[in-house]
Structure 1
Amino acid sequence: MQPTTKHPTRRRAALVSGTALVTGALLAGLSAPVTASASAAAGTATATAATNTVADGGTTASRYDTATEHRNRCAVRTLLTRTFADPTSPAARRLAQALVAPDAVTHASGAAAGPAGVLAEFAADRTRVPGAQAVVKHIAADGDLVAVHWQVAPDVRDERRGDAAVDLFRLRDGRVVEHWSLDQPIATGTPASGNTNTMFSDLYRPARPTPAPSERQEERNRTFAVSAYDTLFRDHDVSVLDRDFDPAYLQHNPVAPNGTAALKQLFGSGAQFPAQQSVISLADGDIVWTFSQPVGAAPDAPLLAADLFRVDGGLIREHWDVVPTS
């Protein structure tokens, strides 16, 4: 059976999105008992996030080249959806050889280079979730980066089973040259937080429709969301919650309720959380994606978490994340 994709809607809402609520080390301390096989990546790569500065968000290409971004997005969607069903098949290997550079770096411990490394990650997903299909929920292209938020789904009709995943790809001349993968089991049962939103649904509805953001607006959204994230999780300055977040923002983390009140309470409890910061970021449509590491981490250290943010009217309105448990 061919993998299923759910084409993401490009929200009319406007600005970037989300809420960096409970990510990384913070979430690890809060989350309900969940075991994960995290493909999040460690890496001994020659090409890493350190290739760029934190300030530029990790891209080595123009964020205003929409034609290349469109081609890159299509290439990654094709790679994922057409090889995931059987990553070991001759057809999957041929397609991966066409779309992945021979020396591409996969940031996972012991991963092979090139197409074999990418296909091995997909094969590991299918081993972990037998019978799984790849269901794309959100996809973004910005500069030379493409990010995919997707479900490793044993049942494409059920968003509450399997794993939540975010994969990040860097492309050059239409081929993948670098790949990171993060995944997290989807929690089952009724969460203690009372939040019953799935880890994938799009729930925010703007008060009135607005045009899709331009490339320049996307870039303003990216810097806005990254600044909000770093202010909260690197600087531990909770005043940003009153400035940049909708008090009732929508939360898709199963252990955190909607709204900013719980996060204010958490930071005000006196608990100590390691500082973390965004090291790679993308903006596409009204969603901004951040990939974080602990402050001071080595450039090739594993990514800690992937967060997606939706913003409308200058406020963070909705948030999704994937936080590997190891």
Structure 2
Amino acid sequence: MTNDPTTRNPSRRLARGTAVLAGVALLTGLGVATPASAAPGTTPKPTVTAAPDRRDTTTEHRNACAVRTLITTTFADPESTSSQQLAARSVSPSAVAHGAGTTAGPEGLLAQFSADRTRVPGAHAVIKRVAADGDLVAVHWQITPDPRDERRGDAAVDLFRLEHGRIVERWSLEQPVPTGTPASGNTNTMFSDLYRPARPTAAPSERQEERNRVLAVSAYDTLFRDHDPSILDRAFDPAYLQHNPVAPNGTAALKRLFGSGAPFPAQQSVISLSDGDIVWTFSQAVGAKPGDPLLAADLFRVDDGLIREHWDVVPTD
């Protein structure tokens, strides 16, 4: 499991003012982020960097359990004494929070959960995926009034950095789950697991996880920074499964979009981690400064050297 931030202080939200940019945001959920094209005679800054110690799986597991417990316990009643005590133990008082409307420390996390529950009455926190990699823990979860219904509420990805078992930095991205019949015809939910390998495969080793991460991040950057759609033929299963309801399954639609000549703002992966067969990337506009908003969170399932499935969360404000 590898923890690989190129930039440590991105915020989470990037406004989408145009239809083209909105389209890119939705596509962001299916690729690997890329840095901006370099000026002539310069070398683009790589977004795939070496991680801190990735061999301490015991600490990674402990961090993942702590974050899972924190979310599931405190979300149910953020204002209770027990939630406040757990948050105080789990989150540093000086913990930095990135994202519009977020505030620092344990109080900020509880305030975020209270706002979620106000926005989605009767909401439950339904965790779909957790990844722990180095000092980072990422959580893909649903905020929903009905845990049995994946087509209601909000989709969220939260990223936490921990030191000595306490959260010292966090990023939060949320978007409403789209309702109605999508024009794309894609009826996959934003959370389901659909990919089935042709043959049983063993859990990837640490070395394979790192290879998967490099593949996914490089593919994202090639597509969204360098605007080179040929990567779709090299890094993606032509029939990959898409969980962004605005985009259909497969690479054909992306090829058409990038071949249309529409201008796409450059974006790149600034934080990435890999756990199991899923690579998580967090993207930012090329040229963004530390502290500028994050554009999106993207999750890619990598199997046998190809991206097979994709999920994303793209904030809309």
Calculate the TM-score normalised by the size of structure 1.
0.83
Q: Does residue 241 of structure 2 align to residue 247 of structure 1? A: no
Aligned residues: 282
Deviation at 1:223, TM superposition (A): 0.9
What is residue 312 of structure 1 aligned with on the other side? 303
* Contact 2:280/2:300 (<8 A) preserved: yes
Query: Is residue 258 from structure 1 mapped to residue 249 from structure 2 by the alignment?
Result: yes
Counterpart in the other structure of 1:100: 91
- Deviation per residue, 1:7-38 (Å, 9 max, x gap): xxxxxxxxxxxxxxxx9966613789xxxxxx
Q: TM (normalized to structure 2)?
A: 0.85
Is the partner of 1:93 in helix, strand or coil?
A: helix
Q: Which amino acid is the alignment partner of residue 192 of structure 1? A: A
Deviation at 1:216, TM superposition (A): 1.6
- Aligned residue for 1:147? 138
Question: Per-residue CA shift, 1:97-128, capped at 9, x if unaligned?
Answer: 11111110111346432101111111111111
| Residues 110-125 of structure 1: pairs in structure 2 closer than 5 A | 111-125=102-116
Match of 1:158 among 149, 152, 156: 149
Instruction: Work out whether residues 282 and 296 of structure 2, in 8 Å CA contact, stay in contact via their aligned partners in 1.
Output: yes
From 278, 281, 299, the equivalent of 2:272 is: 281
- The answer to whether residue 185 in structure 2 is matched with residue 191 in structure 1 is no
Q: Mapping of 1:73-84 within 5 angstroms?
A: 73-84=64-75
Distance change >3 Å, CA 188–CA 290, structure 1 → 2: same
- The Cα RMSD (Å) is 1.8
> Does the C-alpha gap of structure 1 residues 282 and 314 become closer, same or farther in structure 2, counting only changes over 3 Å?
same
Tell me how far apart the structure 2 counterparts of residues 240 and 163 of structure 1 sit (CA, whole Å): 31
Q: Kindly report which structure 2 residues correspond to 1:173-188, keeping only aligned pairs within 5 A, or say none.
A: 173-188=164-179
Letter of the structure 1 residue corresponding to residue 22 of structure 2: A
Q: Which digits, 9 at most, give the CA deviation of each residue in 1:254-278, with x for residues without a partner?
A: 1000000000000001100100000
2:106 partner letter? P
Give the Å deviation of 1:231. 0.4
Show the 5 A alignment for 1:36-75.
54-56=47-49, 61-75=52-66
CA shift, 1:201, in A, is 0.2
Q: CA deviation at 1:311?
A: 1.2
The one-letter code sitting in structure 2 at the alignment partner of 1:29 is: G
SS in 2 for 1:92: helix
Is 1:227 the equivalent of 2:218?
yes
1:27·1:323 contact (CA, 8 Å) conserved in 2? no
Match of 1:291 in 2: 282
Change (3 A) 1:262 1:74: same
Cα distance in 1 for partners of 2:197, 2:84 equals: 43
- Unaligned 5+ residue runs, structure 1? 1-22, 33-52
Percent of pairs with identical residues: 76
Asked whether the 8 Å contact 2:21–2:265 carries over to 1, the reply is no
Secondary structure (helix, strand or coil) at the match of 1:217 reads: helix
Please report how far the alpha carbon of residue 55 of structure 1 lies from its aligned counterpart in structure 2 after TM superposition: 3.3
Q: Is the 8 A contact 1:31 1:255 kept in 2?
A: no
Structure 2 CA distance, aligned partners of 1:160 and 1:291?
Answer: 24
Q: Classify 1:250/1:225 alpha carbon distance in 2 versus 1 (closer, same or farther; 3 Å).
A: same
| Contact 2:25–2:314 (CA under 8 A) maintained in structure 1 | no
The C-alpha deviation readout for 1:284-316, integer Å capped at 9, x for no partner, is 000000000000011111110000000111110
Aligned residue for 1:282, secondary structure, equals strand
Distance in 1 separating the partners of 2:296 and 2:24:
14
Is contact 1:164–1:322 with CA below 8 Å preserved after alignment? yes
Amino acid at match of 1:163: D
- What is the distance in 2 between the residues matched to 1:140 and 1:267? 31
